[in-house]
Amino acid sequence: MSKALAVFKKSGLPDHPSLRDAFVAAHDAGVTYYTRSNPGDLMKRLEHLELHLHEQAMAARLLLSINDGVDRMPSATALFVNATWPYTSTYGWSALTRAFYDAQKMALLHSGVGPLLARALNSRTKEAMASALIARHYQLMNPTYLSEGMGPAQDRINRHRPQILRGLDALKADTMPAPLAQHVAIIRKLNPNLMDHGF
């Protein structure tokens, strides 16, 4: 079994061909990129690649947890097509894939612009974007990041949490189907201070 397939097996995702192939392609694109660009720090880079894919897998599982999960498989698959963008510019950008990439930028926009952009998107795309932002928030407390030190980990949370919340507000994620809306409510109530969580 290839390394990419082994990582996919650990992701908890259904073994759907399109989902598996997109995951493996994202993994392989990342490995190729880091092997060529920074071989001296390869192990650390590959560790962060797996964290990135773990985050996308969490987003895909959230998206598939909505009742008609099978119908959302194309959107879940596109999360991994989007995951290749830091590593290659030739992996066939579909309109939906581009929208996922724009979602990451949308979270950085102020509330006056985000809602205007969100209104132009269909509900499935917005649900996928919300899933990606929810997964991103949970990933901020990943133990691997925390092991890099309390200060950098807290700085990362302080920097990204407001951006994520702005993105969720723009998408009106509180009104989305129950699994997503429930996670948004949890995120809003989370205390962002790591010291208060006993870390």
The mean pLDDT of the chain is: 84
pLDDT band, residue 177 (cuts 50/70/90): very high
Q: Does residue 85 carry a pLDDT above 90?
A: no
Q: Does residue 109 carry a pLDDT above 70?
A: no
Secondary structure of 62-81 in HEC code, one letter for each residue: HHHCCCCHHHHHHHHHHHHH
Q: How far apart are the first and last CA of the chain?
A: 37
**40 and 62 Cβ atoms separated by less than 8 Å:** no
Q: Does residue 96 carry a pLDDT above 80?
A: no
Please report how the helices 73-82 and 42-64 are oriented relative to each other, as an axis angle in degrees rounded to 10: 160
pLDDT band, residue 183 (cuts 50/70/90): very high
**134 and 60 Cβ atoms separated by less than 8 Å:** no
More confident residue, 98 or 84: 84
Convert the pLDDT of each residue in 21-73 to its tens digit: 999 999 998 898 888 876 778 888 888 888 889 999 999 999 999 988 888 99
pLDDT band, residue 119 (cuts 50/70/90): confident
Of the listed ranges 126-135, 151-160, 175-184, the least confidently predicted one is 151-160
pLDDT band, residue 92 (cuts 50/70/90): low
